[in-house]
Amino acid sequence: MSRAPQEDPRQDTPAISAPTRSAAGIPAVINSLRVVSRQSGAARGLATLRDVNQKTGFDCPGCAWPEGKRRHLAEFCENGAKAVAEEATRRAVPPEFFARYSVAELATRSGYWLGQQGRLTHPVFLDKGATHYVPVSWERAFSLIAEELAALDSPDEAVFYTSGRTSNEAAFLYQLFARKFGTNNLPDCSNMCHESSGVALTETLGVGKGSVLLEDLYQADLIIVAGQNPGTNHPRMLSALEKAKRGGTRIITVNPLPEVGLMRFKNPQKARGIVGGGTRLTDLFLQIRLGGDLALFRAWNRMLVEADRDNSGSVLDREFIAEHTHGFDAFVDELCADSDEKFWADVDTATGLPREQITEALEMIQASKRIVVCWAMGLTQHKHSVPTIREVVNFLLLRGNVGRPGAGVCPVRGHSNVQGDRTVGIVEKPKEEFLDALGAEFGFEPPRHHGYDTVRAIRAMRDGKVGVFFAMGGNFVSASPDTLVTEDAMRRCRLTVHVSTKLNRSHVVTGARALILPALARTDRDLSGGKEQFVTVENSMGMVHSSRGSVRPLSDQMRSEVSIVAGLARRVFGPDDPVPWEDFARDYDLIRDRIERVIPGFANYNERARRPGGFLLPHAPRDSRRFPTATGKANFTVNRMTPLTVPEGRLLLQTLRSHDQYNTTVYGLDDRYRGVRGGRRVVLVNPEDAQRLGLADGSYTDIVSEWPDGVERRAAHYLVVYYPTAPGCAAAYYPETNVLVPLDSTAEGSNTPTSKSIVVRFEPDSGPVETG
């Protein structure tokens, strides 16, 4: 395969200082105001910030963390402010930009540079063999797509990807379009994100979503935060944890890294937070090895079962177990099968935790009537993620910690509407009842066979089985694993289409022909059909609420995602198609009426969406301890422990987010809390490991991933940073290190790439990569 041009990693020159001691506070305020005024001009930026997450404003395009009841004038969040500033920027990428830069030239630029150019303003087209994108009309763009779709041998040769910012209304129309076209090939970012949570929770509790509300966090006696860095990725969660703490909740943090925000937090909302030393959030920090969580939860579970035996049944919630669960005996039998010696030897290897800490945590657990477990990518992106999360459920079931106040599962979702997109049908493995309802509502027979998830889509593209790749948002090329394989896969398509707000690498590593279609974003005023429209989104806790943009779009050529799908559908299905696509684009209420008829839980959608704060979707385990599983009960599961063995001279690498990025969108080159400035190619290594491996602090190295398929995966020119991570583990930023994640290394049961556990070795810095 011929490689697409790439940036030269040597232009990246990070500087390192000590990690900070607390998160947020004044530096966070200053930093975000700087970003806001640089991007949008101070006045436009501040006016926009005022509207974030207000009852009449737009939903923050940052994370999916819910808003509290009493919203502050601007519930302040540094990274929310950055997300808004990037979106509401006045910088534009007009057609002249594409006349100036060839696609090959753009491919040598970093993702950061591409994103910083500003908002996409006009539809542009790259023809076969052409060197530059040229402006194209919307009608011509739709015709080009329709022609390529019509030329496919089967609808399954088209792939329709979605990223998680798309509104419920646009997502519902988009999946309708794909299914009417004849395919369930609807991979989404969830496949790389919380899929493991969805799979594990559906199997055990019957609903693949979290079971707690904000109130539950405040009422919990204990919150366990495992595999999550909220100080950077869900900053508003820290305010909730702080509030819980003030009410007496204790917090256990499980993480290979001592993430600053979780350790100590200064609330920028409050004078107390801004001055003073901040609140100590974490009561007990368990510095676990990567992938050790299954062993940890199994250890706690075994200890609880044993304590229950010793204390004549007073430790477990026997009544709950008898009435509401299934599989308890089989679970206990397997859990207690190994000798103490064997069991604890495995726990020691997998977790690396001192036994006293596990016991200390157990005491806190036993002293707590109400427990919530929160998690994110640290639990979902491993080979054993599904069993790990099932074991978390076992842990909660043992003491009845599901379906009552102050207790439950809290998978903290990423993209601001990734949960809503799933709810309204963005899923490659749809349920029969959903397809029945969709088909009945729109008078067609939806395809029944399952479609490709993200990894399977890449394989199919690589193998020449996909002609058209269409993306509703996102940055497929950079977000996906095995970058070189994915880039090659993308280039084998006949047509690649991106509905986007900002320029990214997926626009410059393309199929034979390519289109970029500029979409309105969350912050933009949407006047589709000549009237002001609003959309709805669902947060991480199942609240659906409205979002109304207020910023004037940079060009009248930008269209809403709803009207893009509607326009394309009319062109593809022709004037006689009975679905009223134009009406939908003129009045989003009509789409909500249809969602209400197809998807349970949306009764009076239009009315309730207009209520301040929106409405809560039903969740049977949370609401009434009903568990819509195959057994009709909450299922205990058997999850055997298989500690990962890393060969001598190798480390386990996790790929994670810096403080200055939103997934593949890089806001800046600093990771303030971790003491990294001005660059991103750093690898954080435990000093003892580094010395053993002969890696000097501040030296440069190549990272080579080991996977038994004979392919060399190398990330060149990384600065070694001695850092207090768990022994045997290393960390580096996504998406630059996605080259190291083998496509076929995925989680069992969810097929999520194992972005948090890659076996790597280090080799001398190999010099610059070819850039042509």
416 binds ligand MGD (CB under 6 A): no
| Cβ neighbours of 323 (radius 10 Å) | 11
Listed ranges 10-18, 39-47, 501-509, 629-637: which one lies at the site for ligand MGD (CB under 6 A): 501-509
Phi, then psi, of 385 in degrees rounded to 5:
-65, -45
Tokens of 451: 């479609």
CA distances from 73 to 36, 69, 70, 125, 456 (A): 17, 12, 9, 42, 45
718 binds ligand MGD (CB under 6 A): no
Picked from ligand MGD, Mo ion, none, the partner binding residue 599 (CB below 5 to 8 A depending on kind) is none
657 binds ligand MGD (CB under 6 A): yes
Rounded to the nearest whole angstrom, what is the least distance from the CB of residue 75 to ligand MGD in the complex? Answer: 15
Given CA atoms 205, 208, 214, 218 in this order, what sign does their dihedral have?
A: positive
Rounded to whole angstroms, the Cα distance separating 58 from 80 reads 12
* Footprint (CB under 6 A) of ligand MGD, residues 300-359: none
Q: Toward ligand MGD, which CB reaches closer, 324 or 505?
A: 505
Picked from ligand MGD, Mo ion, none, the partner binding residue 717 (CB below 5 to 8 A depending on kind) is none
Q: Toward ligand MGD, which CB reaches closer, 219 or 282?
A: 282
Which of 473, 511, 529, 668 is the binder for ligand MGD (CB under 6 A)? Answer: 473
Which of 45, 261, 414, 735 is the binder for Mo ion (CB under 5 A)? Answer: 414
63 binds ligand MGD (CB under 6 A): yes
CA distances from 149 to 128, 183, 189 (A): 16, 12, 23
Which of 173, 189, 410, 595 is the binder for ligand MGD (CB under 6 A)? Answer: 189
Which of 133, 172, 534, 662 is the binder for ligand MGD (CB under 6 A)? Answer: 662
Classify 103 as helix, strand or coil.
helix
Which residues lie closer than 8 Å to 19 by C-beta, 6 or more apart? 258, 260, 673, 674, 675, 723
Picked from Mo ion, ligand MGD, none, the partner binding residue 19 (CB below 5 to 8 A depending on kind) is none
* Footprint (CB under 6 A) of ligand MGD, residues 67-86: 79
Q: Toward ligand MGD, which CB reaches closer, 501 or 746?
A: 501
Question: Where would I find the beta strands (DSSP E) of 111-210?
Answer: 119-120, 124-126, 134-135, 158-162
Any idea what the Cα angle at residue 688 is, between residues 655 and 683, rounded to 5°? 25
193 binds Mo ion (CB under 5 A): yes
Dihedral (Cα; 229, 231, 236, 241), 10-degree rounding: 80
Find where tokens 């390192």 sit.
16
Task: Answer whether the bond into residue 735 is a cis peptide, omega within 30°.
Answer: yes
515 binds ligand MGD (CB under 6 A): no
Rounded to the nearest whole angstrom, what is the least distance from the CB of residue 369 to ligand MGD in the complex? Answer: 24
Phi, then psi, of 363 in degrees rounded to 5:
-65, -40
Which one, of 409, 220, 214, lies nearest residue 297 by Cα? 409
Listed ranges 196-204, 372-380, 580-588, 634-642: which one lies at the site for ligand MGD (CB under 6 A): 372-380
Listed ranges 47-55, 260-268, 408-416, 520-528: which one lies at the site for Mo ion (CB under 5 A): 408-416
Picked from ligand MGD, Mo ion, none, the partner binding residue 655 (CB below 5 to 8 A depending on kind) is ligand MGD
Picked from ligand MGD, Mo ion, none, the partner binding residue 332 (CB below 5 to 8 A depending on kind) is none
Listed ranges 115-123, 294-302, 406-414, 711-719: which one lies at the site for Mo ion (CB under 5 A): 406-414
Rounded to the nearest whole angstrom, what is the least distance from the CB of residue 563 to ligand MGD in the complex? Answer: 12
Give strand pairing partners of 702. Answer: 763
Instruction: Give the rounded distance of the alpha carbon of 164 from its chain centre.
Output: 8
Which of 57, 155, 198, 291 is the binder for ligand MGD (CB under 6 A)? Answer: 291
Whose CB is nearest to Mo ion?
414
Tokens of 186: 């609807």
Picked from Mo ion, ligand MGD, none, the partner binding residue 473 (CB below 5 to 8 A depending on kind) is ligand MGD
| Cβ neighbours of 481 (radius 10 Å) | 28
**Residue count at the site for ligand MGD (CB under 6 A)?**
61
738 binds ligand MGD (CB under 6 A): yes
Rounded to the nearest whole angstrom, what is the least distance from the CB of residue 189 to ligand MGD in the complex? Answer: 4
Given CA atoms 420, 425, 426, 427 in this order, what sign does their dihedral have?
A: positive
CA distances from 658 to 13, 208, 231, 561, 680 (A): 15, 28, 11, 29, 8
CA distances from 317 to 222, 252, 305 (A): 17, 22, 11
Listed ranges 264-272, 306-314, 626-634, 648-656: which one lies at the site for ligand MGD (CB under 6 A): 648-656
Q: Toward Mo ion, which CB reaches closer, 193 or 316?
A: 193
Picked from Mo ion, ligand MGD, none, the partner binding residue 479 (CB below 5 to 8 A depending on kind) is ligand MGD
561 binds ligand MGD (CB under 6 A): yes
Rounded to whole angstroms, the Cα distance separating 135 from 124 reads 4
Report the interface residues with ligand MGD, using CB under 6 A: 62-63, 79, 163-165, 189, 192-193, 226-229, 232-234, 254-257, 259, 288, 290-291, 293, 376-378, 382, 414-415, 472-476, 479, 499-502, 504, 519, 521-522, 561, 654-657, 661-665, 734-735, 738, 741, 755-756
Report the interface residues with Mo ion, using CB under 5 A: 193, 414
